[in-house]
Amino acid sequence: MVHAKTGTLTEVAALSGWLRSADGRIVVQATIINNSPDPDAAHTWLDSAWSAVAGCGCTP
């Protein structure tokens, strides 16, 4: 589960918050996409990126 807040300005999409990864670690991240001509694609990418991190059993 992701606990995050979105933000959108003209040509900017952002998602900041925290999640618990598949291995139980709490991950805090902020992602900003600047100068995006396609806001829908930017939000889709943000969702995909955060989902990948949440599903990862990654260890630093």
Instruction: Return the pLDDT at 59.
Output: 64
Helix, strand, or coil here: 17? strand
Instruction: pLDDT tens for the chain, 60 residues: list them.
Output: 778 888 878 888 999 999 988 888 898 999 999 998 898 999 999 999 989 988 887 766
Taking the CA atoms of 37, 43, 49 and 53 in sequence, report the sign of the dihedral they define. positive
Burial tier of 24 (Cβ tally within 10 Å: 0-12, 13-18, 19+): exposed
